[in-house]
Amino acid sequence: MIPNAPIVITAPSTPAYNTFDLDADPETVIPPTPSKGTAHLLPVDETEGVTSGAVQAPGSTAIDDSDRGTFTDDEFHDAKEEDEHIDAEEMRLIMNCGSGIPIVDGKPKPLLPPIAERHKGRKCLVLDMDETLLHSSFKLMPQHDFTVPVEIEWQWHNAYVLKRPGVEEFLRKMGEIYEVIVYTASVSKYADPVLDKVDVHKAVTHRLFRESCYNHRGNYVKDLSMLGRPLDTCIILDNSPASYLFNPTNAVPVTTWFNDPLDTELTDLIGFLTDLAPVSDVRPLLARDC
C-alpha cells in the first residue's frame, strides 16, 4: 500500500547531475531535470510519419455536449451513458492499478515468465521504445543511424531510425542492475529488428509488443499489473502519460525525443535509476501530484 503521505521528489535547483547518496538521506531520490537542447534539429517534414503513433491522449474518444448536433436524442443519451460507464471503468482500473494478471483457461497467465535466477532480487525496469529510446520514420532522414525493412500489407518499406544519444550505454548500465523490459505499442515485425540493432549489449531480458498492451478507449496502455512482477518493484519510463495511465506512481516521465543530438536525458537518468534500485517500494518516491 502507498503511504498516506507519499515522499515528494524535488527537482534539483541546478542543472548539475550527480549520483545522489541515498545513505545520507534515504527518503530522497532526486531525478535529473530533462534536457532542453534544440540545436541542429532536423526539419519538421523529416520527422513526420512516425511509426509509433499508436498511443492517443486519454479521453480522446469522449463525447461532450458540443457533439450533440450529430446525434438523435436517443443516440446522444445512449452515447453519454456509455461514456459514463467507460469513465467508471477507467477509474476502477486506476484505483486497482490495472486489470491484474490475465486468466487463460482458468489459470493466471502473466505477460512475463518467472524471473530468471540471475535477476532474483532486482527490480523490473520497463522501457518504452519510440520517442523514448529512439525515433523512426518512413520518410528518409539523412542523419539516420540505420534502416530496417518493414513489411506492411505485402509491401516492404524502409524505417529510418535515429538512436537517442546515450541509448546503448544506458541499456548496458540498466542491464547490470535491473531486469530490463522493453514494452512498446508498436508491432513486433517493426520493433524486433530495431531492438536487435539498438540493444548491442543484450541488456533487454524481455520484449512486449502491441498485442500485450491493454486497449482502453483506443489507447494502448502498458498495464504493469499484467506483468507478473510486484508493483512495488516496477518502474516504467515512457514519454506518453497515456501509456502508464493505470500506474502513474510507477512512472518516470521522459521528454519526447525526435532528433536532438545534444539531448542527454538517458545519460542523466543513469544515476537516478541506480540510486532508485535498492529502494524497497518505488511508488512513494515516484508519486506525483495530479
Residues with Cβ within 8 Å of residue 260, at least 6 apart in sequence: 35, 37, 38, 39, 40, 41, 165
CB atoms inside a 10 Å sphere around CB 262: 12
Q: Is 49 left (phi over 0), alpha (psi -120 to 50) or beta?
A: left
Q: Report H helices in 167-281.
A: 167-177, 188-198, 265-276
Residues in the chain: 290
Measured CA to CA, the distance from residue 278 to residue 178 in angstroms comes to 10
Query: 138: which DSSP letter?
Result: S
C-alpha cell, 115 = 524471473
Q: Which residues of 33-68 are buried (b: 16+ CB within 10 A; e: fewer)?
A: ebbeeeeeebeeebbebebbebbeebeeeebeeeee
Q: Which residues are catalytic?
A: 128, 130
140 in Cβ contact with 160 (< 8 Å): yes
Measured CA to CA, the distance from residue 148 to residue 133 in angstroms comes to 16
